[in-house]
Amino acid sequence: MTEQFSADDWIKQGLKALARSGFTALKADPLAKAMGVSRGSFYWHFADLGAFHAAVLKRWREIAAEQIIADVEAGSDEPLKALLRRTFGARLDLERAVRNWAAFDPAAQAAARAIDRRRLDYIETLLARRELAAPIAQVRAQILYWTFLGFALSGPPGPAARLQPLLDEILRMVSA
């Protein structure tokens, strides 16, 4: 008997393929081959490729924003510091892949814009908790987010030993 795959299994495989090979890998045939099943399993869960892409983008938004925010809020460390450590210390292959996809696809572009807004709003909230006035929190949140995007899109990070002093300096700059 062959293993039964859920829509979630397909989405997870899609995220792996996206991070590894880019958005052109998000097709039923190569994903089915990688999972050792027929394309029929894919179409059992998704009406078409567009529905699958929408599900992959939705999951990306969940793991790249909502899950991180929930983890930061549940943690015992100072939230802005925890957010910096979490986001700048993460593997960012998926972030780069979605940003590349967004350059070619309106749905991916809309997902990237939505996550950008969500992340910016959250950073502004964290800065406001540090008693920064709203206009200053907004500007610093934008600068911090642009810093993250530049870091994310620059490719693999440098040595881990260089990361903590960088994060300390970023925290000092946005909190001053």
Q: Output b/e per residue, 50-83; b: 16+ Cβ within 10 A.
A: eebbebbbebbbeebbeebbeebeeeeeebbbbb
> What is this structure's pTM?
0.90
CA 164 to CA 19: how far, in whole Å?
25
CA 32 to CA 34: how far, in whole Å?
5
- Supply the pLDDT for residue 90: 84
- Supply the pLDDT for residue 159: 75
Q: Of the CATH numbers 3.40.30.10, 3.40.50.10490, 3.30.930.10, 1.10.357.10, which one belongs to the domain with range 7-175?
A: 1.10.357.10
The structural domains of the chain, with segments of one domain joined by +, span 7-175
- Supply the pLDDT for residue 3: 61
Low-confidence ranges of the chain (pLDDT < 70): 1-3
The single-letter DSSP state of residue 105 is: -
